[in-house]
Structure 1
């Protein structure tokens, strides 16, 4: 039997748990001295599929001046609206559990969950995320968009490893399954 693909969250956060400051700014992140690309290229080679929510997609497209940066990967954007697919993105307006179960059973590499917010909250509640790779910046920003929303859910994690990239610390967790 083949191994099932995993959904992996790979994201940076401030020490106080925010993924963006007020106004969706990431300026705080770029002021921290890293090392190379802080493990991004290595991680990017382990995935062939990217999933994200519509808000994250819109933010990326705005930051990248309309040029989708993950053209070499299959990409699915979850949206509550019916939207037309593009050359590089398929929009998904169906149950996340059903869609994800099907996606995880397909042949391929791991699946990268880009961004946080509502989609991550849903995926955590439904226990769809298999691994979390959090890169922590030594910055406290006080307010903004939290990585983890409050809610009625719990996940038990097991530490798989840690690495440092100059001032950044990467924490790699595997979600424990019962």
Structure 2
């Protein structure tokens, strides 16, 4: 860690349809899994640089349902934000406190990048409060017409700088840094 910045980055790494949706209204991702990618579309490379994961409660419940209770991020420090108080389990700590101060405290701890997995409400708060440092958006060549938008409308703006692009067969990854 010598010579590196002490402040950790919060990174959004997510796939979306070409028309900007992360899931259908019924929370389905079937449209995404029928697109021909390449390998794991950069996931292994990304996750190797992450040691902390932030998840909204609704997304956590979706993951647990679709992974049949087998939590996929067992080797990472995972926090689930919830408006209701829940008992921590062996894989996650449930957070029912101010998102801004909690995240800023995490960013100032030593470690690797912090991945915000979702969902839409949590991501909206992170974007509005300028807590996201980088966005890695993987665009699928699908137009699904309606669903859960990646970016909710609201009173906020972010200025971005393109850091790079990559393709994974039919997917295109756009990597942006957030300008201060």
Q: TM-score under structure 1 normalisation?
A: 0.98
SS in 2 for 1:50: strand
| Equivalences, count | 177
Deviations 1:94-148 (A, max 9, x none): 0001100100011100000002300000010100000000000000000010000
Distance (whole Å) between structure 2 residues aligned to residue 150 and residue 98 of structure 1: 24
SS in 2 for 1:23: coil
Distance (whole Å) between structure 1 residues aligned to residue 24 and residue 43 of structure 2: 21
What's the counterpart of residue 145 of structure 1?
148
Distance (whole Å) between structure 2 residues aligned to residue 116 and residue 172 of structure 1: 19
Q: TM-score under structure 2 normalisation?
A: 0.97
Distance (whole Å) between structure 2 residues aligned to residue 31 and residue 12 of structure 1: 13
Q: Does 1:55 align with 2:77?
A: no
Distance (whole Å) between structure 1 residues aligned to residue 71 and residue 167 of structure 2: 29
Q: Does 1:29 align with 2:32?
A: yes
Distance (whole Å) between structure 1 residues aligned to residue 27 and residue 56 of structure 2: 15
**Aligned mate of 2:11, from 8, 15, 26:** 8
SS in 1 for 2:102: helix
Instruction: Say if 2:10 and 2:132, in contact at 8 Å, map to a contact too.
Output: yes
RMSD, aligned CA: 0.8
**Aligned mate of 2:173, from 167, 170, 174:** 170
SS in 1 for 2:100: helix
Q: Does 1:72 align with 2:110?
A: no
Deviation at 1:67, TM superposition (A): 1.0
SS in 1 for 2:162: strand
What's the counterpart of residue 20 of structure 1?
23
- Which 4+ stretches in 1 moved above 4 angstroms? none
**Aligned mate of 1:158, from 153, 161, 175:** 161
